[in-house]
Amino acid sequence: MIPTLLSWLQMLSRLCGFETVDRFPAGHPHARTRWNGAYFDIASDVKTEQIEQRLCDAITNTPFVFSYIRNPTPRMQRTLLGLLDARIRCHANSNDLVLLLINAYRSPQIQEAIPGLRAAIGAVRDDEPADQIRAVLYFLAQMQAPFDVIDMPGSTSTLH
């Protein structure tokens, strides 16, 4: 009786949003994405469509929380790339954001946000961090419009 009662209370707690989530639900296209719940307070009753938006908002507000996400979705990566683009346009130091991106690509399960990015990062995997940063920035600079993503109605991208 007690295990049944505890199970029911756990389910009720999740439904009411008293718990926080640290991953997308099983069966979700980005089910491999995980995040540290201590840095992202996302209640368990938040709809899956809104979870990714909240994570992207957190990245926009504090880019370094990106390091607490394993296998970030392409949309989360594009959010970081947008911040990187803004820094480059303002001639601000962007090395820290590039390192966040490089570290995220250490996971073989990450989905590419930009075709060829995995190969560009993989080609300099054993180089010094400064050389890795230069190589990734060079790759991004070679793209015609690396951050100009056009959204179709219903798309979930945050960059325009």
pLDDT, residue 159, reads: 44
- Which domain range does residue 68 map to? 47-142
Residue 118 forms part of a structural domain: yes
Chain centre to alpha carbon of residue 34:
9
How far apart are the C-alpha atoms of 77 and 25, rounded to whole Å?
20
Instruction: Give this prediction's pTM.
Output: 0.79
pLDDT tens sequence for the chain (160 residues):
787 765 666 666 656 656 788 999 889 999 999 999 889 889 888 898 899 999 999 999 999 999 999 999 999 999 999 999 999 999 999 999 999 999 999 999 999 999 999 999 999 999 999 999 999 999 999 885 555 544 444 444 444 4
- Long-range pairs for 99-107 at CB < 8 Å and ≥24 separation? 99/129, 99/132, 99/133, 100/63, 100/64, 100/66, 100/67, 101/66, 101/77, 101/136, 102/129, 102/132, 102/133, 102/136, 103/67, 104/66, 104/69, 104/71, 104/72, 104/77, 107/70, 107/71
- How many domains is the chain partitioned into structurally? 1
Query: Which tokens go with 83?
Result: 């911040």
Residue 94 forms part of a structural domain: yes
Residue 137 forms part of a structural domain: yes
Residue 151 forms part of a structural domain: no
Residue that the structure tokens 């949003």 belong to: 17
Residue 16 forms part of a structural domain: no
